Amino acid sequence: MLKVKMGDTFRLGLLYERYKKRLFGFFFQMNRDASLSEDLVQNVFIRILKYKHTYTEDSKFVTWVFQIARNTNYDNYRKDKKNRHQNIDEIEYSVTTSETIESEITKDENASTLQLALNQLSTEKKELLMLSKFRELKYKEVGEIMGCSEGTARTKVHRALNELKEVFLTLEKR
Amino acid sequence: MERKQFEELITDYITGNCSEQQKQEFELFLKNNPKAKQEVEEMNLFLPSFDEEVEITSAMDMKFYAMLNAAEKKNNNLSLLDKVVNVIQAKFTKQLAYTFAILTVGFFVGNAFNPKGTAALQTLDLANSETENVRSQLVLTLLDQPSANKRLQAVNEASKLSSVTKTITNALFSTLNSDTNVNVRLSAIEALSNYTEIPEVREGLIASIIHQKSPMVQIVLADLMVQLREKKAVKSFKKLIEEKDVNESAKQKMQESIQQIF
């Protein structure tokens, strides 16, 4: 990343290859829209180029990139909230074409229940679980991304995981 | 192990937040507790999976690389622009430095060669030379005037000249030898006496002695020759002394002058 910062823009390709799947997974888990997630991954890299001068050696690249990813997702959510009222037809269309809950159930009931449970969690909890899934992100980095201490991050991740389990079990009983 | 502690350890374990030692100890514990192991495996399922069945399309890669290319191009263009700006700036700075250096050298060289060579002085010199030119023209014009007064004025103007041309001296000699007015001729001597350092002027003055009829002019010329200690004039004076129609006072003056010259 430091080379990208120094003007070696093509090095960004390496970072893209390394992080695109994880970023896509992060966004897809958050919004369940593949096309939108691809756009958001693209937006993350546009922002990386735009704000490359703010990157310092002090922070891990993965921490920095997921901070950008969170912001990108948040900005999109706000924008989406505004647009939702303006373009109902489009929204309906996108819902019917995306992977619907129904089709997911036929594929794998457990997975869809888990997805349903995950969707019932707050955005922050979803993010926490998402970030914790990455082996390279420890509580310290998760805390940095989420803007809290290492200890708080540990407690929050633990609570989010337990809440997901509870919601899942409740849904399964129905 | 307490329940709460165990649950927290599960979270640490599945999220990869255990140290190597903690991990080994926990795995040993799980080996001996199949129920706990099952619980950990179940819990692991709750961590959202990133290896989704939804594949990333090649469109995303294409979009990204198009964006990267555009950014790279922009970056190259910018750096090229920067280079050009840098070159221009360097060139400009060099030019400025050279100009300044040349100016400084010019200033000192100019000062060394021409101590009063300032622009103002040069302008003054130019104005002076123009005045001299005009004065010369005036002298020549006035000397041709029939009025003795004008010719007198011309000779007076001629004596104001700091340097003379051959034309002016010739005109003055012509006045000295042929002007009808004595005062004009006397003034001509006075004017010519300023340029006695010129050999032609001295010779002209000596040659004119013999042509002079007026005792006044003869006396003034005799005085001038004494001043100049001009031995060549003696011959002319002697010739004049021998002439009958020359004024006695003048003869006496010339005699004295011959003696003074020697």
pTM, entire model: 0.49
Cβ neighbors of A71 (< 8 A, separation 6 or more) are A47
Q: Is B41 on the interface with A (CB under 8 A)?
A: no
A to B CB pairs, distance under 8 Å: 95
* CA distance linking residue A28 with residue A126, whole number of Å: 11
Model pLDDT for residues B161-172, shown as the tens digit of each residue = 777 788 888 888
At position B56, the amino acid (one-letter code) is: I
Which residues, 6 or more positions from B185, have their beta carbon under 8 angstroms from its beta carbon?
B175, B176, B179, B212, B214, B217
Kindly state the DSSP code that residue A134 receives in the 8-state scheme: S
- ipTM value for the complex: 0.71
State whether residue A169 sits within 8 Å of chain B by CB. Answer: no
- CA B74, CA B71: separation in Å to the nearest integer? 5
Please give the residue of chain A at the shortest CA–CA distance from B50: A25
CB contact under 8 A, B46 and A114: yes
Q: Which of A130, A138, A164 sits opposite B46 (nearest CB)?
A: A164
**Which helix (H) or strand (E) covers residue B262, if one does?**
none
Listed as ranges, residues in chain A with pLDDT below 70 are: 2-10, 80-108, 135, 174
* Out of A24, A132, A136, closest to residue B56 by CB: A24
Among left, alpha and beta (phi > 0; psi -120 to 50; other), residue A138 is beta
User: Which tens digit of pLDDT belongs to each residue from B165-207?
Assistant: 888 888 888 888 888 888 888 888 888 888 888 888 888 888 8
Chain A CA closest to residue B59: A38
Q: Which residues of chain B have pLDDT under 50?
A: none
Predicted confidence at residue A6, as pLDDT, reads 66
* pLDDT at residue A93, rounded to an integer: 45
Domain limits of chain B?
3-45
- Flag whether residue A66 sits within 8 Å of chain B, measured between CB atoms: no
Residues 6+ apart with CB under 8 A from B226: B257, B260, B261
Q: Which domains does chain A have, with CATH numbers?
A: 1-98 (1.10.1740.10), 104-174 (1.10.10.10)
